[in-house]
Chain A
């Protein structure tokens, strides 16, 4: 896909911020992105706001505070992929010639504790069949069967991402952790220990998307949005993010992530071998390994080996989650996908200091969650 570039990005750090509202965080991120893009009042014709827990007209509240209303403002809910969905809608509108410049942002202030999702019916909660970490655990356990993944591999994913996140000022956790510490944390749902799960939290991220060629002269140089795809699930997989109550014994149903990645690579006319850096969904440590396989970064069944090779660590062939991932940043649903995009834009511009992936030219962002919703964004410079 040609036609859309990212002219500016902004972010409110991810974490827990007492007394700071969802709107406050959105204002912070949007203001930074507009400033970087050199876009002022009247400079964008539409706004899409990703949020899952924000409530009615979350995007309007942010833009009202900034005196930037009048254009269509649409909130987009697609679970963990809300920001990716917003970006896809904006890119499509620019490509179609409907708008020249679109503001895309995501904001969230998650409730504390295990995520309570309105997705489930009350009886499912009452029967104990709605515990989010239990589904993560069942997928993790299947990965031990299909890919030889051990608890030690899961701990190593956390160690890697927390090492990456140690230099990320926007991350909730900026302290490295050892495999021993991860394995010593309490078991939430076997095989997942507490530190193998990301923290639902708060934050905001924003991106200014504009028609290619319109602002080629600006500094920093625009990053090209080469692909932006959202896909839902195909039925059949019992452990799909659509969280059905049953599935079929057919193991060949492509995952929503595979559907989205395949379409995004096609849109960008690129393949997994072209990538220099990846930010992927690591809600839990096993989810990152599944993502390697589902995106095609390694062969099916090869995720443990791929991790062990060091390829996905900073300095390796294809660093994954240089930002520290959700395991370091935490996960504010509506903002997490755009948080990845902000990181990757900064990586492609060479602005990431100690966690910079040298010479990165092609980057992929991936989020997946309830729905199912899977979002894949490909960026190039």
Chain B
């Protein structure tokens, strides 16, 4: 039966209050996304799983105007970098595809959005960020 599937498991949680699945290094305190089992910054083993903040601020953004290889969703689509309070910047899909409608530092919140429908009829969803209070 067709349903809703994540573009990849282990990246985020779905539902009313979604979150990105990150990790934190107990040695250097750095946060990671996606989860790592070795810290990419200090090479220490044993980062601890954590849920990252679902709100942040916009640090960089653009829009992709032609579908790149392997992408089957609508164009244009927004893509950018959101800075989270944990001191981490995340590359992300953005719900706003008009670069002129966004501003540096604006408050953003995590959403889970549809990308496309796969050959089995499943709705494929991914993590994205939208301006806070956007519909």
Chain A residues near B (Cβ < 8 Å): 113-114, 116, 121-123, 125-134, 137-138, 141-142, 145, 186-191, 235-236, 238-239, 244-249
Contacts and interface: CB of A to CB of B under 8 A. Distances in A.
B7 A246 contact: no
Nearest to B127: A127
Given A127-B126, A131-B68, A137 B62 contact: yes
B91 A129 contact: yes
Given A245-B33, A247-B89, A128 B64 contact: yes
A248 B30 contact: yes
Given A131-B79, A142-B60, A245 B68 contact: no
Contacts of B34: 245-246
Contacts of A244: 40, 91
B81 A238 contact: yes
Contacts of B68: 114, 125, 128, 130-132, 134
Contact of B87 (A130, A186, A248): A248
10 cross-chain pairs, A with B, having the tightest CB-CB distances, nearest first: A125-B70, A131-B68, A123-B8, A137-B62, A190-B99, A246-B33, A116-B69, A238-B89, A138-B60, A189-B62
Interface in B73-101: 73, 77, 79-81, 83, 87-93, 99-100
B81 A190 contact: no
A255 to B, nearest CB: 15
A134 B62 contact: yes
B89 A248 contact: yes
Contact of A187 (B40, B65, B88): B65
Contacts of A236: 41
For chain B, the bracket of interface size reads 35 or more
B79 A126 contact: no
Nearest to B124: A126
Contacts of A248: 30, 41, 87-89
Contacts of A131: 64, 68, 71, 79
Q: Which of A138, A145, A186, A246 has the most CB of B within 10 A?
A: A246
B93 A128 contact: yes
Given A137-B62, A189-B63, A126 B91 contact: no
Given A131-B79, A238-B91, A125 B62 contact: no
A238 B59 CA distance: 11
19 contacts: A114-B68, A127-B7, A127-B71, A128-B71, A128-B73, A131-B64, A131-B68, A133-B64, A138-B79, A189-B64, A191-B99, A238-B81, A238-B89, A244-B91, A245-B34, A245-B91, A246-B88, A248-B87, A249-B89
A187 B41 CA distance: 36
Contacts of A132: 68
